[in-house]
Amino acid sequence: MRVLVADDDPGSLLVARAAVEQSGHECITAADGDTAWELYRTHRPHVVVTDLKMPGLDGLSLCRAIRAADKDAYTYLVLVTSHGSRDDVLAGMDAGADDYVTKPLDPFHLRTRLLAAHRVTTLHADLADSRAALSGQARTDPLTGLHNRLKLSEDLDALHRRSARYIEDYCIALCDVDDFKTYNDTYGHLAGDSALKAVARSLTGQARDSDGVYRYGGEEFLLVFPRQSLPAALTALNRCLAAVSSLGIHHSGTTAGLLTISAGLSAYSSGHRVSSDALLQEADAAMYAAKNAGKNRVRAATVRPGNSPADSMGTPDLR
């Protein structure tokens, strides 16, 4: 563990350092509360052993500051008092301390606190890892390994706010596997699952590092293109359609005889500053327009109010 000891008494610092290092831990020392706070922010120690009374931030203020900053990890706090005052101990615990020792420092007592600190901080680290794993699972589609709608909602909200603030364009595209129900009915659900995973890999393979690929639900996928104009996104989407077709997944229920996708595209641009929900609705409507136009194609929602989506098998009608 990394242990920070804060005390304005040089003798107590020496005793504490010896006890920490004999226990096999790294020790950082500070002679006042202000320095201790800066060292805490720089090194993020697992344990802080702090004197109650010292220049700058006193022990109680330091404990409160650390607890307020403890977001991603837990720091075990040991308060050092000059006398066993119950009021001081209670005040320390109320400020966030986990334990206390009294002066003059007894190396044995401090080492026992470090043993307890190691157990507690290890437990908190394990819990943090478990929470992170659960959070990741909650935002991941178990079949394809793509991010799901929960993660999309978070990412799209952040992208929209950033794009509005910095006046940047972005695009979203809703993609749907053509005649997927027929595919499932013909080849079975296991084959359908395999096809969805193949489509997911294909879309991910075409995406830039900054792009987002999400499973939107069922046989639908949603692509997010940050800082991308509508013409550039159209080019990227047509590559995606070609990549899915090139998988060569046989589908007797389509005209092409292959598994294909249709896509609808919408853009947040200088002439079209609408909400992310509105963009999703536009992409959905454009995707259905692509289906009605013959499938295996992209349709782009126009940026002008009142116009129908433009066929984008070539260049969208942006006049």
Distance CA 166, CA 198 (A): 36
Task: Kindly list the structural domains of the chain, giving each domain's residue range(s) and its CATH number in brackets, ordered by start.
Answer: 2-136 (3.40.50.2300), 149-311 (3.30.70.270)
Catalytic residue status for 219: yes
Block mean pLDDT (10 aa), the chain, length 319: 95 93 95 96 95 94 93 90 81 93 91 93 85 81 94 95 94 96 95 96 94 95 96 95 96 90 95 93 95 94 52 35
Check 26, 219, 220, 282 and give the catalytic one: 219
Is the omega angle on the peptide bond into residue 104 within 30 degrees of 0, that is, cis? Answer: yes
The whole-model pTM stands at 0.65
Q: Which of 220, 3, 33 is nearest to 110 (CA)?
A: 3
Angle at 210 between CA 175 and CA 153, to 5 degrees: 60
Burial of 108 (0-12, 13-18, 19+ CB in 10 A): exposed
Q: How many helices (H) and strands (E) does the chain have?
A: 10, 11
Distance CA 69, CA 63 (A): 10
